């Protein structure tokens, strides 16, 4: 099936410079399209997908898809942080400067703590270990914040997720797990709450609607009337999110 779907998509005016692939996901009921941070495109299709129907759906989305690929490819380098005092980190949209301090003055279990506008990091550590500790801090804080934030959103949307976790979700900012759980990339916790909510609501709606078609967009607009503005802000800011690279 994937071969025939691939042939159908290949017959479309897809730019030759694109890197794309078709993945069969038996649990899906509709077409899903994902654009990785490097601009690669993944077409996720149900096991019984009709190649002609998939091609028609892809054709209708090509203009918007082309813009997304162009935007992603324009961002060539992942942000890298130097772990020196004064380096900026963000948490829920607020800015904090890194301060390297003696280990016995840091209260956080992972050697990271926020204090009086600073993000304090227990020192000395290697750059790799320091980056890992800060990512661990974002993950722990994200789990607490998301755990409190999600229940009222889920109630408003009429869904019952199995839970929510902050973790490294690879090239996706959020994921709706097969067991009904929600995962959010820990790096998203750098954004303002309204943009974290965008990721949460997006994944919560996937508990009811797979894919990103008209039904999905309708529910998203009902939940977030200002979704277009939030998505524009997210696209502008997501490319600058730190995901653990240090020097």
Residues 157-171: tens digit of each pLDDT? 999 999 999 999 988
**Span 212-219, mean pLDDT?**
92
Residue identified by tokens 């690279």 is 245
Kindly indicate the confidence band of residue 108, based on its pLDDT and cuts at 50, 70 and 90: low
Residue identified by tokens 């990103």 is 212
Instruction: Give the model's pLDDT for residue 110.
Output: 85
Class of the domain covering 127-238: alpha beta
Does the pLDDT value for residue 219 go beyond 60? yes
**Is there a contact between 138 and 157 (Cβ–Cβ < 8 Å)?**
no
Give the three-class secondary structure for 188: helix
Instruction: Give the model's pLDDT for residue 107.
Output: 65
Residue 107 pairs in a beta bridge with none
Q: What is the pLDDT of residues 49-101, one digit of tens each?
A: 899 999 999 999 998 898 888 877 765 567 999 999 999 999 999 999 999 99
Q: Determine the Cα angle at 110 with ends 107 and 111, to 5°.
A: 55
Instruction: Give the model's pLDDT for residue 113.
Output: 93
Residue of 201 and 32 predicted with greater confidence: 201
Does the pLDDT value for residue 25 go beyond 90? no
Instruction: Give the model's pLDDT for residue 200.
Output: 97
Instruction: Give the model's pLDDT for residue 47.
Output: 86
Kindly indicate the confidence band of residue 140, based on its pLDDT and cuts at 50, 70 and 90: very high
Token pair for 84? 């020196």
Q: Determine the Cα angle at 37 with ends 97 and 110, to 5°.
A: 35
Q: Which residues have C-beta within 8 Å of that of residue 239, sequence separation ≥ 6?
A: 75
Give the three-class secondary structure for 122: strand
Residue identified by tokens 């990721």 is 199
Does the pLDDT value for residue 195 go beyond 90? yes
Q: What percent of the chain has pLDDT over 70?
A: 96
Mean pLDDT of the chain: 91
Does the pLDDT value for residue 191 go beyond 90? yes
Instruction: Give the model's pLDDT for residue 155.
Output: 96
Residues 194, 111: Cα–Cα separation, whole Å: 28
**Span 199-217, mean pLDDT?**
93
**Domain layout of the chain by residue ranges:** 2-74, 127-238
**Is there a contact between 192 and 238 (Cβ–Cβ < 8 Å)?**
no
Residues 14, 3: Cα–Cα separation, whole Å: 16
Token pair for 128? 């790799």
Residue of 110 and 192 predicted with greater confidence: 192
Does the pLDDT value for residue 2 go beyond 70? no
Does the pLDDT value for residue 204 go beyond 70? yes
Say how many CA atoms lie within 13 Å of 62 toward its Cβ.
Answer: 14
Residue 17 pairs in a beta bridge with none
Residues in the chain: 247
Nearest to 196 by CA among 207, 186, 206: 186
């Amino acid at each position: 099936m994937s071969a025939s779907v691939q042939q159908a998509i290949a017959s479309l005016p897809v730019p030759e410079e694109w890197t794309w692939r078709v993945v069969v996901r038996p649990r899906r009921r509709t077409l899903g399209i994902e654009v990785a941070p490097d601009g690669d495109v993944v077409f996720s299709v149900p096991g019984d997908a009709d190649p002609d129907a998939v091609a028609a759906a892809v054709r209708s989305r090509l203009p918007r898809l082309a813009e997304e690929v162009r935007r992603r490819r324009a961002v060539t380098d992942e942000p890298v942080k130097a772990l020196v005092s004064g380096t900026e980190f963000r948490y829920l949209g607020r800015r904090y400067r890194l301060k390297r301090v003696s280990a016995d003055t840091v209260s956080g279990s992972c050697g990271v703590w926020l204090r009086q506008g600073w993000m304090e990091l227990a020192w000395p550590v290697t750059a790799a270990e320091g980056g890992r500790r800060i990512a661990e801090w974002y993950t722990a804080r994200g789990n607490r914040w998301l755990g409190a934030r999600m229940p009222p959103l889920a109630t408003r949307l009429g869904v019952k997720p199995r839970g929510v976790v902050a973790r490294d979700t690879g090239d996706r900012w959020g994921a709706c797990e097969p067991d009904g759980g929600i995962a959010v990339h820990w790096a998203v916790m750098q954004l303002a709450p309204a943009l974290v909510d965008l990721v949460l609501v997006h994944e919560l709606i996937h508990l009811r609607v797979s894919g990103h078609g008209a039904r999905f967009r309708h529910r998203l607009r009902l939940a977030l009337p200002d979704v277009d503005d939030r998505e524009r802000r997210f696209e502008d800011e997501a490319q600058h999110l730190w995901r653990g690279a240090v020097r």
